Amino acid sequence: MNNYTLADLALFGVVWELQEPVASEIAEHKSAISNHQSERNIVIPTANLLSHAESAAAAAKDFNELCIAVGNFPHPLKSFARTISPRIPSPEPRIIIITDSPSSDDDASGNILSGAAGEMLDKMLSAIGVARDDVAIIPLVFWRPPGGRTITEEEYSLCRPFFERAIELMIEDCGLRIVLCLGSGVEKQLNQFSILNPQSSIFTIPHPNYLILKPDAKKDAWTVLQEIQKVISDSD
């Protein structure tokens, strides 16, 4: 058995699969080794494709139009996975959760943060009196990469206009008060943006997949969740 290090946890959704892969995932990873070596080195984006992303995102007047724009965008990863759109509930969400790329469970279900990670997230939210219907979930990337490999900066950049537009719409429609990053990698990406509401409270906890692998980290996550609960209580 391979010995995975903490560095592997940067892959978020992939780590849990690597710990206990099911038969289909074993086949997928074997296939990735033989068929996707060249795909790891895809050079993207072209200037025209990035311009297309920026134009399509800017034209979206609401979340419905934004999700349609994401679904229609010819991102290179779209050849390997289904589109996982941002999840924006109505009425106004209490928390905006930012996560990384979809997992194999997400790709299979079509829903962001599903499977074991989703169950863990729901338990954490329930502990502070928040339901899944009370939160918005926005992934940095809307497609799972082949074999669950690490997302490249070029692949992030093509999704960034849509992510930025989602945040802008959250500011316009909801005020964007509480932002929860799942993992330090997400926080690092989010720090590149300057469009967040100055009044926003930004928190970071480990991704639920990390907490499944490392239960001892739940204590620190609970401390952060209690801080979020206090912000919610103070705003009510």
Rounded-to-integer distance, Cα 144 and Cα 81, Å: 6
- 113 in Cβ contact with 137 (< 8 Å): yes
Q: Can you name the residues that pair with 95 across neighbouring β-strands?
A: 135
Structure tokens at 97: 């959760």
Residue 178's nearest CA partner among 102, 229, 220, 111 is: 229
Cα separation of 66 and 112, whole Å?
A: 16
Per-residue pLDDT of 134-161, as tens digits, reads 899 999 999 999 999 999 989 999 999 9
Q: Could you read off the pLDDT of 170-218 as tens digits, one per residue?
A: 877 666 678 999 998 888 877 776 656 666 788 999 999 999 999 999 9
Q: Are strands 178-182 and 95-99 parallel, antiparallel or unpaired?
A: parallel
Following DSSP, what letter does each residue of 23-51 receive, concatenated?
A: HHHHHHHHHHHHHSTGGGG-----HHHHH
Residue with tokens 């058995």: 1
Instruction: Give the span between the Cα atoms of 232 and 135, in whole angstroms.
Output: 12
Nearest to 140 by CA among 200, 54, 80, 70: 70
Domain residue extents for the chain = 44-235
pLDDT band for position 37 (50/70/90)?
very low
In order of 10, 208, 210, 235, the CA distances from 6 in angstroms are 8, 15, 9, 37
H and E: helices and strands count for the chain = 10, 4
Indicate the fold that domain 44-235 takes in CATH.
Uracil-DNA Glycosylase, subunit E (3.40.470)
Cis before 91 (ω within 30): yes
Tell which wins on pLDDT, 90 or 167: 167
